[in-house]
A and B are shown apart, each in its own frame.
Chain A
Amino acid sequence: MPGSRKTSSAVRTTCPYCGVGCGVLATPDGEGGAVIGGDPAHPANFGRLCSKGAALGETLGLETRLLHPEIEGRRVGWDQALDRVAGGLRRISQVHGPESIAFYLSGQLLTEDYYVANKLAKGFIGTPHVDTNSRLCMSSSVAGHRRAFGADVVPQCYDDVEIADLVVLAGSNAAWCHPVLFQRIQVARAERGVRVVTIDPRRTVTSEGADLHLPIKAGTDSQLWNGLLCWLADRAALDWRFVGDCTEGFAAAIAVARAASGSVADVASQTGLDVSDVETFYTWWTGTDRVVSCYSQGINQSAQGTDKVNAIINCHLATGRIGKPGAGPLSLTGQPNAMGGREVGGLANMLAAHMGFSEVERNRVRRFWGAPNLAATEGMKAVQMFDAIAAGKIKALWVMGTNPAVSLPRADHVRAALKGLDLLVVSENVASNDTANLAHVRLPASAWGEKDGTVTNSERRISRQRTFLASPGEVRPDWWILSQVAARLGWAGAFSYRSAADIFREHASLSGFENDGARAFNISGLSRMTEAEYDALAPVQWPVGKDGAGTERLFADGEFFNTSGRARIVAIKPGAPAVPTSRDWPFVLNTGRVRDQWHTMTRTGLSARLAVHIAEPFVEIHPGDAKALGLGQGTLALVETEHGSATLRVMSSGNQRPGALFVPIHWSGENSSAGRVGALVQPITDPFSGQPEAKATPARIAALEMSHFGFVLSRRSIAARGLAYWARSHMPCGSVVHFALDAWPASWEVWSERLLPEGERLTYEDERSQQYRVAVLSNGRLDAVLYVAATPVLPSIEWLKSCFALSEIGPVDRRSLLAGRPVGGADEGPVVCACFQVGRKRIDAAIAEGACSAQDIGRVTRAGTNCGSCVPELKRLAASASQAALPEAAE
Chain B
Amino acid sequence: MTTTMARERLVLVGNGMAGLKFLEEVLELAPGRFDITVIGAEPEPAYNRVLLSSLLAGEIAAGDVTLKSRAWYGEHGIVLKTGQPAVALDSARREVVLADGVTVPFDVLVLATGSNPIRLDLPGQQLSGVTTFRTLADVADLKAAAGAKTAAVVIGGGLLGIEAAYGLARRRVPVTLVHLMDRLMERQLDAEGAALLKDALEARGIKVLLQAQTRAIHGEGAVESVELADGRRIACGLVVMAVGVRPNVALAATGGLQIGRGILVDDRLQTSVADIHAIGECVEHRSGCYGLVEPAYEQARVAAAAIVNKPVSYLGSVLATNLKVSGVPVFSAGDFEGAGAEAIIVRDHGAASYRKLVIRDGRLAGAALVGDTGDALWYAELIRTAAPVAAFREALAFGQAFAEAMG
A763 nearest in chain B by CB position: B347
Q: Is B359 an interface residue (CB 8 A)?
A: yes
Q: Is B30 an interface residue (CB 8 A)?
A: no
Of B47-55, B124-132, B170-178, B311-319, which stretch is located at the interface? Answer: B47-55
| Cα separation A828 to B372 with both chains bound (whole Å) | 11
Min CB distance A866 to B, Å, is 6
Q: Quick one: which of B386-404 are within 8 Å of A by CB? A: 393-395, 397-402, 404
B400 nearest in chain A by CB position: A825
Which A residues touch B35, using CB under 8 A?
none
Min CB distance B18 to A, Å, is 12
- Given A872-B51, A872-B64; A867-B293 close (CB under 8 Å): yes
- Given A834-B322, A869-B50; A765-B351 close (CB under 8 Å): no
Q: Is B79 an interface residue (CB 8 A)?
A: no
Secondary structure type dominating chain A contacts: mixed
Q: Are A872 and B50 in contact (CB under 8 A)?
A: no
- Given A824-B401, A831-B329, A872-B51; A866-B297 close (CB under 8 Å): yes
Which B residues touch A819, using CB under 8 A?
395, 397-398, 402
Q: Are B350 and A872 in contact (CB under 8 A)?
A: no
- Given A825-B400, A868-B67; A837-B347 close (CB under 8 Å): no
| Interface band, chain A | 35 or more
Q: Quick one: which of A837-871 are within 8 Å of B by CB? A: 837, 839, 866-871
Which B residues touch A836, using CB under 8 A?
377
> Residue among A763, A768, A823 with the most chain B CB within 10 A?
A823
| Contact indicator per residue, chain B 336-352, by CB within 8 Å of chain A (1) or not (0) | 00000011111111110
> Residue among B59, B293, B331, B347 with the most chain A CB within 10 A?
B347
Q: Are B393 and A769 in contact (CB under 8 A)?
A: yes
A765 nearest in chain B by CB position: B345
| Cα separation A818 to B325 with both chains bound (whole Å) | 28
- Given A819-B398, A824-B401, A831-B329; A765-B344 close (CB under 8 Å): yes
| Cα separation A320 to B8 with both chains bound (whole Å) | 116
B397 nearest in chain A by CB position: A764
Q: Are A823 and B398 in contact (CB under 8 A)?
A: yes
| Contact indicator per residue, chain A 856-891, by CB within 8 Å of chain B (1) or not (0) | 000000000011111111010000000000000000
Which A residues touch B147, using CB under 8 A?
none
Q: Quick one: which of B42-78 are within 8 Å of A by CB? A: 48, 50-51, 54, 59-61, 64, 67
Q: Is A3 an interface residue (CB 8 A)?
A: no
| Cα separation A10 to B215 with both chains bound (whole Å) | 86
| Cα separation A767 to B338 with both chains bound (whole Å) | 13
Q: Is A718 an interface residue (CB 8 A)?
A: no
| Cα separation A253 to B230 with both chains bound (whole Å) | 105
Q: Is A760 an interface residue (CB 8 A)?
A: yes
Min CB distance A472 to B, Å, is 40
Q: Are B54 and A823 in contact (CB under 8 A)?
A: no
Q: Is A835 an interface residue (CB 8 A)?
A: yes
| Cα separation A870 to B64 with both chains bound (whole Å) | 10
| Cα separation A27 to B238 with both chains bound (whole Å) | 77
Q: Is A367 an interface residue (CB 8 A)?
A: no
- Given A767-B342, A868-B67, A872-B60; A762-B400 close (CB under 8 Å): no
B329 nearest in chain A by CB position: A831
B376 nearest in chain A by CB position: A837
| Cα separation A872 to B297 with both chains bound (whole Å) | 20
Q: Is B373 an interface residue (CB 8 A)?
A: yes
- Given A819-B395, A867-B50; A764-B346 close (CB under 8 Å): yes
- Given A831-B374, A867-B293, A869-B50; A766-B344 close (CB under 8 Å): yes
Within the complex, which residue of B48, B323, B401 is in contact with A825, where a contact is CB–CB below 8 Å?
B401
Q: Is A761 an interface residue (CB 8 A)?
A: yes
Q: Is A814 an interface residue (CB 8 A)?
A: yes
| Cα separation A831 to B323 with both chains bound (whole Å) | 12
Min CB distance A808 to B, Å, is 13
Which A residues touch B50, using CB under 8 A?
867-869
Which A residues touch B54, using CB under 8 A?
869, 872
| Cα separation A811 to B401 with both chains bound (whole Å) | 16
Within the complex, which residue of B342, B359, B398 is in contact with A815, where a contact is CB–CB below 8 Å?
B398
Q: Is B405 an interface residue (CB 8 A)?
A: yes
Q: Is B294 an interface residue (CB 8 A)?
A: yes
Which A residues touch B324, using CB under 8 A?
834, 867, 869-870
Which A residues touch B294, using CB under 8 A?
835, 866-867
Which B residues touch A767, using CB under 8 A?
342-343
B359 nearest in chain A by CB position: A768
Q: Are B48 and A867 in contact (CB under 8 A)?
A: yes
| Cα separation A762 to B50 with both chains bound (whole Å) | 33
Q: Are A828 and B397 in contact (CB under 8 A)?
A: no
Q: Is A771 an interface residue (CB 8 A)?
A: yes
Which B residues touch A761, using CB under 8 A?
347, 349-350
Min CB distance A709 to B, Å, is 14
Which B residues touch A834, using CB under 8 A?
322-324, 329, 331, 373, 376
Which B residues touch A825, using CB under 8 A?
374-375, 399-402
| Cα separation A511 to B9 with both chains bound (whole Å) | 122
Which A residues touch B376, using CB under 8 A?
834, 837
Which B residues touch A303, using CB under 8 A?
none
Q: Are B347 and A815 in contact (CB under 8 A)?
A: no
Which B residues touch A867, using CB under 8 A?
17, 48, 50, 293-294, 322, 324
- Given A831-B374, A869-B325; A814-B348 close (CB under 8 Å): yes
| Cα separation A814 to B404 with both chains bound (whole Å) | 19
Q: Is A777 an interface residue (CB 8 A)?
A: yes
Which B residues touch A823, using CB under 8 A?
398-399, 401-402
Q: Are B374 and A866 in contact (CB under 8 A)?
A: no
Q: Quick one: which of A710-746 are within 8 Å of B by CB? A: none
Q: Are A815 and B64 in contact (CB under 8 A)?
A: no
| Cα separation A766 to B346 with both chains bound (whole Å) | 9
Q: Are A837 and B398 in contact (CB under 8 A)?
A: no
Min CB distance A771 to B, Å, is 7
| Cα separation A657 to B372 with both chains bound (whole Å) | 53
Q: Are B405 and A824 in contact (CB under 8 A)?
A: yes
Within the complex, which residue of B48, B349, B351 is in contact with A868, where a contact is CB–CB below 8 Å?
B48
- Given A836-B377, A867-B293, A872-B60; A762-B401 close (CB under 8 Å): no
Which B residues touch A873, using CB under 8 A?
60
- Given A767-B342, A819-B402; A762-B374 close (CB under 8 Å): no
| Contact indicator per residue, chain B 257-299, by CB within 8 Å of chain A (1) or not (0) | 0000000000000000000000000000000000001100100
| Cα separation A839 to B377 with both chains bound (whole Å) | 13
Which A residues touch B346, using CB under 8 A?
762-765, 815, 818
| Contact indicator per residue, chain A 250-271, by CB within 8 Å of chain B (1) or not (0) | 0000000000000000000000
Q: Are A777 and B48 in contact (CB under 8 A)?
A: no
Q: Are A764 and B401 in contact (CB under 8 A)?
A: no
Which A residues touch B325, using CB under 8 A?
869
Q: Quick one: which of B356-387 are within 8 Å of A by CB? A: 359, 372-377
| Cα separation A815 to B372 with both chains bound (whole Å) | 10
Which B residues touch A764, using CB under 8 A?
344-347, 397
| Cα separation A674 to B334 with both chains bound (whole Å) | 49
Q: Are B375 and A837 in contact (CB under 8 A)?
A: yes
B357 nearest in chain A by CB position: A766
| Cα separation A366 to B359 with both chains bound (whole Å) | 84
Which A residues touch B374, using CB under 8 A?
825, 828, 831, 837, 839
Could you list some 13 contacts between A and B, CB below 8 A? A761-B347, A761-B350, A777-B350, A831-B329, A836-B377, A837-B373, A837-B374, A837-B377, A867-B50, A868-B50, A869-B50, A869-B324, A875-B64
The 8 A-B residue pairs with the shortest CB-CB distance, nearest first, are A825-B401, A824-B401, A768-B342, A872-B64, A869-B50, A834-B322, A760-B350, A819-B398
Q: Which residues of B contact A (CB under 8 A)?
A: 17, 48, 50-51, 54, 59-61, 64, 67, 293-294, 297, 322-325, 329, 331, 342-351, 359, 372-377, 393-395, 397-402, 404-405
Beyond A767-B343, A819-B395, A837-B374, 19 extra complex contacts between A and B, CB < 8 Å? A761-B350, A763-B347, A765-B344, A766-B343, A815-B398, A818-B346, A818-B398, A824-B404, A824-B405, A831-B374, A834-B376, A837-B376, A837-B377, A867-B48, A867-B294, A868-B50, A869-B50, A869-B324, A871-B48
